[in-house]
């Protein structure tokens, strides 16, 4: 196994950063799109792999957003947001919401999409509607913690998986936990 250290407070060079990213990519995740209403115009929508559960009581979830994302300012001030967990068949949706300035909502019905109304993507595997709970400094990312006010899940679906920088599909049947 290749070993690397990432020095604290030391400027990380490009090679060390690449190896760090590669190591992080060994953690398989699902893929979600964070959506939030804007005061005006089309809603925020951004693909993330950083979604995770935090707490059952109170019900909290988290995700982190790169400080370079164009949506960050609107997400930071949003009165509510939603996590839409993508299904295997939604790779195109993942790619669409991972491209800045790209007509992300073209052809998608986002309902009212303004102010206080949660925006949900059709056909998601699960959705978590959140009210903002906390935001934390996460280095070059901002960590959002949301308090879940409503959630739904499909029982039949299969998840879109992200691993090693590529999309994957579940192939195995479940093994005992």
Residues in contact with ligand FMN by CB under 6 A are: 31, 46-50, 64-66, 69-71, 94, 98-100, 162
Minimum CB–partner distance for residue 157 and ligand FMN (Å): 18
**Cβ distance to ligand FMN smaller for residue 64 or 127:** 64
**Cβ distance to ligand FMN smaller for residue 9 or 103:** 103
**Cβ distance to ligand FMN smaller for residue 65 or 125:** 65
Q: Find the angle CA(130)-CA(92)-CA(172) to the nearest 5 degrees.
A: 85
Nearest partner of 151 among 46, 42, 60, judged by Cα: 60
Minimum CB–partner distance for residue 83 and ligand FMN (Å): 11
Minimum CB–partner distance for residue 50 and ligand FMN (Å): 3
Tell me the C-alpha distance between 32 and 126, whole Å.
9
Are 36 and 80 contacting, i.e. CB atoms less than 8 angstroms apart? Answer: yes
Residues 6+ apart with CB under 8 A from 142: 64, 65, 67, 72, 76, 135, 136
End-to-end Cα separation, the chain, in angstroms: 26
Q: How far is CA 160 from CA 62, 124, 168, in A?
A: 19, 10, 7
Minimum CB–partner distance for residue 121 and ligand FMN (Å): 14
Minimum CB–partner distance for residue 117 and ligand FMN (Å): 20
Tell me the C-alpha distance between 73 and 121, whole Å.
21
**Cβ distance to ligand FMN smaller for residue 45 or 129:** 45
**Cβ distance to ligand FMN smaller for residue 80 or 83:** 83
């Amino acid at each position: 196994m290749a070993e690397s250290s990432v020095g604290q407070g030391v400027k990380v060079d490009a090679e060390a950063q690449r190896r760090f990213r590669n190591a992080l990519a060994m953690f398989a995740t699902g893929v979600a799109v964070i959506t939030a209403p804007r005061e005006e115009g089309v809603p925020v929508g951004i693909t993330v792999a950083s979604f995770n559960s935090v707490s059952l009581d109170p019900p909290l979830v988290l995700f982190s957003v790169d400080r370079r994302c164009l949506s960050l300012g609107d997400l930071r001030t949003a009165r509510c947001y939603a996590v839409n967990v993508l299904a295997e068949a939604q790779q195109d949706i993942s790619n669409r919401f991972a491209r800045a300035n790209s007509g992300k909502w073209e052809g998608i019905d986002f309902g009212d999409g303004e102010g206080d109304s949660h925006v949900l993507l059709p056909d998601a595997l699960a959705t978590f509607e959140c009210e903002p709970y906390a935001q934390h400094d996460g280095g070059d990312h901002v960590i959002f913690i949301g308090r879940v006010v409503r959630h739904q899940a499909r029982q039949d679906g299969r998840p879109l998986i992200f691993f090693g920088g590529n999309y994957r599909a579940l192939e195995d049947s479940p093994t005992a936990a």
